[in-house]
Amino acid sequence: MVTRSTTAPGVGRAAPGEPQLASFRAVCEQLAGRELRGATALHEFSVSSSREFWQALLHWSGLLWEGTSEPVCTGDDVETARFFPGVRLNYAENVLCPLGDDDAPALTSVHATRPAEHLTRGELRSAVARTAAALRTAGVGPSDTVASVAPNHAGTVVAALAVAAIGATLSSATPDMGPGTLLGRFGQVRPAVLLVDRTGTGAGADGDGVAALVAGLPEVRQVLVLDDEPLAAVGGVPVARLAELVAAVPDGAAPEDWPRLPFDHPLWVMFSSGTTGPPKAMVHGAGGSLLEHVKEHRLHGDLRRGDVLYFHTTTAWMMWNWQLSALAVGAHVVLYDGPVDGPETLWRLVAEHGVTVFGTSPAYLQLCQDEGYRPRDAVDLRALRAVLSTGAVLHDWQFDWLADAVGDVPLQSVSGGTDIVGCFVLGHPELPVQRGRSQALSLGLDVAALDDAGVPVLGEVGELVCRRPFPSRPVGFLADPDGRRFHEAYFADHPGVWTHGDRIEIAADGSARVHGRSDGVLNIDGIRIGPSEIYTIVRRLPEVADAMALEQQDPTRPGAARLVLLVVLTPGTTLDDDLAQRVRAVLRRQGSAAHVPSLVLQVEDLPVTHNGKKSERAARDTLDGVPVRNLAALRNPASLAGIATAAQQAARADAARREAVDDIPDGVARAFAEVLHAPVDEGTHFFDAGGTSRQSMTLLRRLRGELGRPIGMDDFLADPTVRGLRAALAADPAPADAVERLREGAAGVPPLVFVHGVHGDTDLYRSLVQALETDAPVYGLTAHPGTGHAVGTLSLADLARRHVETLTALVPDGPVRLAGYSFGGLVAFEMAGLLTARGREVTFLGLLDTLPPSSQLSDGARRLYHLAGRLAHTLPGMGEVTAGQFRRRVADRLLRRRRAASPAPATAPDRELARGEELFHAHRWSRHPGPVSYFRARRRPPVVLNHLYAWRRVAPDLTVVDVPGAHDDLLAAEHTPELAARFSAALRRSAA
């Protein structure tokens, strides 16, 4: 029998002063036939009587639906159970239903550079209805998916709700993502319609970007633009302005009775980046998403009419969808599509728009604290009643700071995931906030922490699982016809139970603290590495039988992590220097520099649990020298003794080697003797002793590796003796040595000059230079460590002046072209200014992902710049790219590489390098009016800072070219063909 909920909106609303949870508790108590006092009793009922709970919630919530709420759920296996197969509903209808006062504000869209737009609930519904009608006219139907690339503003929300209204599926992304990232996501979605806002903050959705997207998405049959930029056809696909289609909808032709579709009808496709393979494209159903969000907003957040919610998010993150659903409870939602310029940005927004519930991240709160910004002293926060934080763990002190600097409002640490488009742990209106903890487990979600043996634990960190079915489980993954990927993602470890991949500690009082990822994802200085990648690579070496990669606190660099690799070798094999070197080499080649371990240890056995699962935790505790907490869970605890012994031996050997190489003169003589297979006198010429050119390459590599000091070939050839090299190591070569010819070119063509990177060399440009299509002679300017103009010894301005002298001596007149990556880009920029001032024409200046020096940003922006990495980690898919960690990582990478190559201790060049970064950030840049081509890495963190704003202040004639990769691997070989093609094209444009 078909029933229709006739529950009037507002039924179940709590009495004033009483949380909505109280009225719902009454419903549950009636069902339970007993009192459910306290948060834990109610949660216990919600999971032990899970079906009653969800059914009661559906009825109590006042949501609009039809059909029958029986059965509630089709089974007990989380992987397969479906909720409410007899219920039909429409997400948009529920989000926009009349709540009595259609003139109440529903949406405020705040912009950085123009006044905010305001829509009442009635206006919003009407706009959505007209847009839905326009989409229908354009042929969009319930079986279609619409991909949206648009910022967090009202136009995007209206379009998103219109898509939902007609029963189509939405997949949203932000223009900050480059075409490569967008295609990686949308390629799986196969959208029929592409919705773009080309005025977004990035270039990803500009004209070229749209063309690239459409070219990569063959199913797109219509492009709809949200902006006012001129329309241009893209391939053979029609392009129309959505606003014009909406304007063409006749009055009265925009019905608001949208189709009610099955509970599991696909509402959104969202993405979660795995550590390997393409992003997981997860399909979320309309009913599950809506019910979960309404539950969280009303029961945990006590959000209601009169509340104003601002949650700082992009359209690419699940929190965007989550905050959208707050409309369903009658809250007024604030959107913002501008940059965060400093700690004050969001607090001002909160104050100006009367935000009552403000959602942000630990990183933003830390920024405010570090900047000494006190919101309560700066802005009027009287309306604010709660602050939400998610994306990472809040530190204890941040609770204290908030109480002091913001006021007496609860700080609710919520945590869940895109995977469930909701939260496992949340705030709670009846419970006090405890420092460092989330207040409560999500009602209806049977969350538990399992130890290594699979037993639920309290008060201990364990694996976060959800043991009973829940409505917001994804319907499934796209491109996963047999469900295998879905199964592998959540159900492989504990069949029938959702294993989320987080570690959590739950207390008896129901409060909890999430402790990061459990799937062994290593986070080495912000670079996320899947351990399976490392196993897969090292197992290709026949000597390696098994391996375990561990992240360990680096004993030599407080606060930093290092990668330790334990290897079990085949019988009869021992780990000698050669094998260790090959392990590192194969990881570097088939992985990346970040995959190269700082330490490789041979062990007999890896610790495994009784279930046969490897225990990284036990191994890590052993390495760290702390008591192993899960000893009883191990099948082979004796393996730990072997690990401890191996670690001690390695530490001793390391110390011995450090002493051995302290003597540089001996190092030079030893390298000569080894390469020439005989000892030589101090004054003997390398070639007189029988050395060949080929052997000279080996010699220089040995010196680089053993002494950690690069020696230029020119220095070597000038006096190829032991004595000469010792002198060269101590000397300051003439500036003429600072230029290298990287490639021959035609006479009369203006040269292209690459400026060294922060390491001082031009090695990084090799593959790019080789692949360029240009007839220009190509030079490289160097600043090797040990030279008088080494990176770190001169200010950046002085370095640029010195290079200008060198360049002028080399090419006395005529136009020049300059380019540089990162550090080199900033030096090149400064040189361009100096050369222009001298009347030289700089016809091309290529900046390869050069971030602005932080001293040139506002205080807040600078801090954000440093924190960008942490913020980026709160946004799925962007964790690899961390602008904020750029500074530290550049140095760490080099140190790690050097450690991998040799055990040389931190030496003067390392200090110079660190100094180089300081100088980079201290640099006060000048202005360059000439043309600048900015090659921007496509993979980069969104939201926080668009550093092009800063660049355009000093380089008004800036053209942005998106290139593949992230900041760190922009020049890697796999990206070279596309980078070289785009670079060559920019060169041609500049010459035209």
Partner 1 sequence: MPLLTQRTATTPPAVRDRGRSSRRVTCDVWLLDLTDGRWDVPRAAALLSSAERARAERGTPAVRRRRVLVRAVLREVLGELLATAPGEVPLDRRDGRPVLAGAAAGSGLDVSCSTGDGLALVAVAHGTRVGVDVEPQREQDWRDAAAEGWLAPAEVAAVAALPPAERAGALTRRWTQKEAVLKAEGVGLRRDPATVPTPGGDAGRAGAWELVAVPVPDGHLASLATGRPVVPVIEERSPW
Binding residues vs partner 1 (CB under 8 A):
578, 581-582, 585, 589, 685, 687-690, 692-694, 696-698, 700-701, 713-714, 717, 740-744, 763, 766-767, 769-771, 972-973, 976
3-state secondary structure of 619: helix
Nearer to partner 1, 113 or 693 (CB): 693
Reduced 3-state DSSP string for 736-803: HHHEEEEECCCCCCCCEEEECCCCCCCHHHHHHHHHCCCCCCEEEECCCCCCCCCECCECHHHHHHHH
Nearer to partner 1, 165 or 541 (CB): 541
Which long-range contacts does 47-55 make (Cβ < 8 Å, 24+ apart)?
A: 47/444, 47/445, 47/446, 47/467, 47/468, 50/444, 50/446, 50/468, 50/469, 52/28, 53/28, 53/443, 53/444, 54/83, 54/84, 54/291, 54/444, 54/471
Question: Alpha-carbon distance 116 to 104, whole Å?
Answer: 16
- Which stretch of DSSP H or E encloses residue 548? strand 544-553
Least distance (Å) between residue 711 CB and partner 1: 12
Nearer to partner 1, 370 or 775 (CB): 775
Nearer to partner 1, 670 or 866 (CB): 670
Nearer to partner 1, 7 or 696 (CB): 696
Nearer to partner 1, 685 or 989 (CB): 685
Output Rg (C-alpha) for the chain, integer angstroms: 31
The CA-atom distances, in angstroms, between 381 and each of 74, 115, 305, 355, 748 are 47, 21, 19, 8, 66
Least distance (Å) between residue 674 CB and partner 1: 12
Least distance (Å) between residue 728 CB and partner 1: 15
Nearer to partner 1, 216 or 745 (CB): 745
Asked whether the beta carbons of 427 and 414 are under 8 A apart, the reply is yes
Least distance (Å) between residue 846 CB and partner 1: 19
Least distance (Å) between residue 706 CB and partner 1: 13
* Cα-based angle 386, 387, 393 (whole degrees, multiple of 5): 140
- 953's CB contacts (< 8 A; 6+ apart) are none
Place of tokens 């219509």: 222
Nearer to partner 1, 51 or 701 (CB): 701
Asked whether the beta carbons of 831 and 803 are under 8 A apart, the reply is yes
Least distance (Å) between residue 842 CB and partner 1: 24
Least distance (Å) between residue 718 CB and partner 1: 11
Which long-range contacts does 898-901 make (Cβ < 8 Å, 24+ apart)?
A: 898/708, 899/598, 900/584, 900/588, 900/596, 900/597, 900/598, 901/704, 901/705
Nearer to partner 1, 690 or 956 (CB): 690
Least distance (Å) between residue 973 CB and partner 1: 4
Nearer to partner 1, 402 or 739 (CB): 739
Nearer to partner 1, 759 or 887 (CB): 759
- 200's CB contacts (< 8 A; 6+ apart) are 149, 150, 151, 174, 175, 176
Nearer to partner 1, 369 or 782 (CB): 782
Least distance (Å) between residue 913 CB and partner 1: 19
**Furthest CA-CA distance within the chain:** 102
Which long-range contacts does 66-69 make (Cβ < 8 Å, 24+ apart)?
A: 66/2, 66/3, 66/4, 66/5, 66/260, 67/2, 67/3, 67/4, 68/1, 68/2, 68/3
Q: Which amino acid, 727?
A: A
- Which stretch of DSSP H or E encloses residue 613? none
Question: Which one, of 108, 120, 194, 196, lies nearest residue 154 by Cα?
Answer: 108
260 backbone φψ class: left, alpha, beta (φ>0; ψ -120 to 50): beta
Least distance (Å) between residue 580 CB and partner 1: 13
Least distance (Å) between residue 742 CB and partner 1: 5
Strand partners, 83: 73
3-state secondary structure of 391: coil
Nearer to partner 1, 322 or 754 (CB): 754
Question: Quick one: tokens of 358?
Answer: 């403000």
Strand partners, 506: 512
The CA-atom distances, in angstroms, between 231 and each of 198, 235, 468 are 10, 13, 51
Least distance (Å) between residue 581 CB and partner 1: 8
Question: Alpha-carbon distance 548 to 57, whole Å?
Answer: 46
Q: Which amino acid, 437?
A: R
Question: Alpha-carbon distance 663 to 726, whole Å?
Answer: 11
Q: Around 892, how many Cα atoms within 13 Å sit in the side-chain half-sphere?
A: 23
Nearer to partner 1, 632 or 697 (CB): 697
Nearer to partner 1, 35 or 578 (CB): 578
Instruction: State the CB neighbour count (10 A cutoff) for residue 146.
Output: 27
Question: Which one, of 761, 732, 748, lies nearest residue 916 by Cα?
Answer: 761
3-state secondary structure of 507: coil
Sign of CA dihedral 65, 68, 69, 75: negative
Nearer to partner 1, 28 or 671 (CB): 671
Nearer to partner 1, 381 or 971 (CB): 971
Least distance (Å) between residue 577 CB and partner 1: 11
Least distance (Å) between residue 676 CB and partner 1: 9
Return phi, psi of residue 477, to 5°: -105, 150
Least distance (Å) between residue 789 CB and partner 1: 19
Nearer to partner 1, 663 or 688 (CB): 688
Question: Quick one: tokens of 559?
Answer: 């606060």
Least distance (Å) between residue 895 CB and partner 1: 18
Asked whether the beta carbons of 200 and 194 are under 8 A apart, the reply is no
Least distance (Å) between residue 704 CB and partner 1: 8
Least distance (Å) between residue 698 CB and partner 1: 6
